[in-house]
Structure 1
């Protein structure tokens, strides 16, 4: 977390508008929350204090994760139940709609690998409702298989898909079959930050094609020992733990 705070602060200092998002894999989707591998035996108050200090613009919580935090979730984190949740931003004069996808278990079981037609339709309807936004970003917990299955349906309604759940992680892909969609998948163990740079934006109502190196680029920033820890975050941890 201290290294992640360093990376996020570096990007915020750049003379480019920045939007920082936390996706579906931040907290384990089961009832034993949060993931002990990430938080140890930390209390909800400790974890909340740490995430508040990270100052992200929007984060995603499952219903179980939100319940673990009790009545007070981390700042700017939204609980997602059986319907998509939309949050709007103005980023450097660009209107952005971030749409958080419900889990695959909606209308089925947690073992479902692809979204049901009804679940997919709800996500597409949320994108249509935000069609006035210049940029639409989907945050998905559907896993590689689920996201792969619906890429073509999402394309043009969404400009960026930030994936989560089981499957490979990669910084960004623009496929010839769906050239209007940047697909990025986070590392489930929190060992990196995926960074997507946009050099051009879609024109409203005009079919759009992303071009690597011209209108977009992406990279995975690994949180290795080469990244110094943010001292403010390090100082916060023992203080929060002692409350």
Structure 2
């Protein structure tokens, strides 16, 4: 977390507006086999203090994570239930819509690794309702298989798909079959930060294709020992845990 704080602060110092998003499977209660390394013995108040210090603009909470935090949920984190939730931002004067996707189990038990037609229809409708936004970003907990299955349906309605759940991690992909969608998947173990640069905005009401190095680029910043720990974050943990 201290290295992540260093990376985020470096990018915020650049003369480019930033939007910091946290997706699915960020917290131990989200995983089938909870990883103590993610939260250890820390209390919800401790974990909230750490994430508040990261200055996240929008984050996703599953029902399990929301229950674990209780009233101490981190600032700007939203519990997502059976329906998509849309949060709106102005980033450097550009209107951006961030749409948080419901889990595959929304409305019942997830029997497959892909969303039902009803679930897919709900996130497409959410994008249509935010069609005035210059950039529409979907945050998904559906896993690689679920996201792969629907990416063609999402394209042109969504400009970015930030995936989570089971499957491989990668900073950004623009596929020839879906050139209007940047697909990025987070490292579920929290070992890196995915940075996506938007260098040119899509034209409204026109079919759009991203071009790597011209209108977008993406990179994975690995949180190795080469990145120094943020001293404020390091100092925050013992202070928060002693309260």
Assess same fold via TM > 0.5: yes
TM superposition shift of 1:110: 3.7
1:23 partnered with 2:20: no
Q: Which moved more, 1:199-208 or 1:181-190?
A: 199-208
Could you say which residue in structure 1 is the equivalent of 2:151? 151
* Structure-2 separation of matches of 1:183 and 1:31: 22
Aligned to 1:162: 162
- Structure 1 CA distance for aligned equivalents of residues 31 and 66 of structure 2: 11
Q: CA deviation at 1:34?
A: 6.8
Distance 2:15 2:196 in 1: 15
Gaps of 5+ in 1: none
Q: TM-score, normalised by structure 2?
A: 0.97
SS at match of 1:70: helix
Report if aligned partners of 1:173, 1:182 keep a CA contact under 8 Å in 2: yes
Q: Secondary structure at the match of 1:122?
A: helix
Q: Is 1:120 the equivalent of 2:120?
A: yes
Distance 1:110 1:30 in 2: 15
**Farther-moved stretch of structure 1 (28-37 vs 177-186):** 28-37
Kept after mapping to 2: 8 A contact 1:34/1:65: no
| CA RMSD in angstroms, aligned pairs only | 1.4
TM-score (ref. length: structure 1): 0.97
Q: Shift of residue 32 of structure 1?
A: 8.3
Q: Is the 8 A contact 1:107 1:116 kept in 2?
A: no
Is 1:50 matched with 2:50? yes
Structure 2: give runs of 5+ residues left out of the alignment: none
Preserved contact between residue 27 and residue 39 of structure 2 (Cα < 8 Å): no
* Deviation at residue 29 of structure 1 after TM alignment: 5.1
The residue aligned with 2:74 is 74
CA distance in 2, matches of 1:242, 1:163: 35
Which residue in 1 is equivalent to 2:63?
63
Q: Distance in 1 between matches of 2:77 and 2:41?
A: 21
Report the equivalent of 2:239. Answer: 239
Residue 103 of structure 1: how far off its partner (Å)? 0.3
State the match for 1:8 in structure 2. Answer: 8
Contact 2:28 2:38 in 1 (8 A): no
Question: Are 1:31 and 1:64, in contact at CA under 8 Å, matched by a contact in 2?
Answer: no
The 3 A distance-change label for structure 1 pair 96 and 201 is same
In 2, Cα distance between equivalents of 1:141 and 1:81? 12
Q: Is the 8 A contact 2:29 2:68 kept in 1?
A: no
C-alpha distance 71-217 of structure 1, shift in aligned 2 (>3 A): same
Shift of 1:72: 3.0
How far has the Cα of 1:73 moved from its partner? 1.2
How many residue pairs get aligned? The number is 243
The 3-state SS of whatever aligns with 1:71 is helix
